[in-house]
Amino acid sequence: MTHLIAVYRQQLKTAIAEQLQYRAALVIWLIEVALGPAVSISVWSTVARNEGGEVNGYNPSGFAAYFIATMLVNYATQTWVFWEFSRRVREGEFSPLLLRPVHPIHADIAQHLAYKMLMLPVIGLVTLLLWLAFHAGFTPSPASLATFLPALLLAFALRFTLEWTLALLAFWLTQVNVINQLYVVVVLFLSGQLLPLSFLPAPLQTVTAWLPFQWMVAFPAQLLSTGLSAQAVLTGFLAQLLWLLLGLGLLTLTWRRGLKRYTAVGG
């Protein structure tokens, strides 16, 4: 464990230095993170006002709180490794990573943590501006706030595990962009980023409850914005833990089989 902590410390230093070299890209990513919630709040707030001030239990301030919360959770949990992995495999960049004494996943975790650390003050400012501009009404209970951080950490672990597993498809396929784009659309719709999941038809809500996506975004976002009942919180944690265990098992299996197919050289 001491060795792994030292590895992470060095990886974070390296990753932060790399991220600072791409400040323009950081700004673009930030605009992408903030623009979606701003548009969603504007659209749904207009719908609520046209419907007499409320839609399905959400008023304009409620919509603002929900979409700001989903922005924060998405910022904390999103990954981009599945966009880069196929290039690593095709161009042989993955070969040197296999020679290191630690699993390559640790370097990716460190890189993502470095990005989130660097952008934390800026995303905090964006959150404040959206809050003031749209008069967001956060109404979580103390119990929901107390469970938000562990739910967020589990959401990040679950999302990173599943998306790193998705990235491993590059061992079998030379072009995975179509699969990646399809996955992004599914996550956008079924994780609650596009609209609250309670707006979906009842059969589709049942489907989302059995899939991992809402536990990566909607569940912690609701804890932060409005709060959930004790039963819903317990169900959410159990779902996160179950999917995380399944994801780790799938990642391990896919990794072992993928390495047997990896034949790229150079880098």
Would you say residue 266 lies in a domain? no
127-141 average pLDDT score: 89
3-class DSSP assignment, residue 58: strand
Q: Is the pLDDT of residue 264 over 70?
A: no
Place of tokens 């956060």: 138
Which of 9-23, 36-50, 229-243 is the least confident region?
9-23
Phi/psi at 55 (nearest 5 deg)? -135, 120
Report yes or no: 76 and 116 within 8 Å, Cβ to Cβ. yes
What's the CA gap between 191 and 220, in Å, rounded? 11
Structure confidence at residue 248 (pLDDT): 96
What's the CA gap between 130 and 141, in Å, rounded? 22
pLDDT digits (tens, 9 = 90+) for 77-110: 999 888 888 888 877 777 887 877 778 888 888 8
Q: Is the pLDDT of residue 267 over 70?
A: no
138-158 average pLDDT score: 93
Helices (H), the chain: 2-20, 23-50, 60-77, 81-90, 94-98, 105-134, 142-167, 177-190, 202-209, 213-216, 218-225, 230-261
pLDDT digits (tens, 9 = 90+) for 114-132: 778 878 888 888 899 899 9
Would you say residue 79 lies in a domain? yes
Residue type, 197: L
146-153 average pLDDT score: 96
pLDDT bracket for residue 3 (50, 70, 90): low
Structure confidence at residue 36 (pLDDT): 84
Tell me the pLDDT of the chain averaged across its residues: 87
240-255 average pLDDT score: 96
> Half-sphere exposure of residue 102, counting CA atoms within 13 Å on the CB side?
16
Would you say residue 138 lies in a domain? yes
Structure confidence at residue 18 (pLDDT): 66
Phi/psi at 172 (nearest 5 deg)? -105, -30
What's the CA gap between 157 and 155, in Å, rounded? 5
Structure confidence at residue 25 (pLDDT): 64
> Half-sphere exposure of residue 168, counting CA atoms within 13 Å on the CB side?
21
pLDDT digits (tens, 9 = 90+) for 196-211: 999 999 999 999 999 9
3-class DSSP assignment, residue 55: strand
Q: Is the pLDDT of residue 163 over 90?
A: yes
Would you say residue 211 lies in a domain? yes
pLDDT, greater one: 31 or 231:
231
Would you say residue 267 lies in a domain? no
Residue type, 241: L
Q: Is the pLDDT of residue 5 over 50?
A: yes
Pull the structure tokens for residue 238. 């159990």
Domain that holds residue 116: 2-261
Domains contained in the chain, number:
1
Would you say residue 207 lies in a domain? yes
Share of the chain above pLDDT 70, in %: 90
What's the CA gap between 124 and 112, in Å, rounded? 17
pTM, rounded to two decimals: 0.89
Cβ neighbours, 10 Å, residue 78: 21
Query: Which residues does residue 58 pair with via DSSP β-bridges, in sequence order?
Result: 55
Structure confidence at residue 52 (pLDDT): 86
Pull the structure tokens for residue 70. 């989903």
Q: Is the pLDDT of residue 65 over 90?
A: yes
CA dist 181 to 110, 115, 138, 170, Å? 24, 22, 32, 14
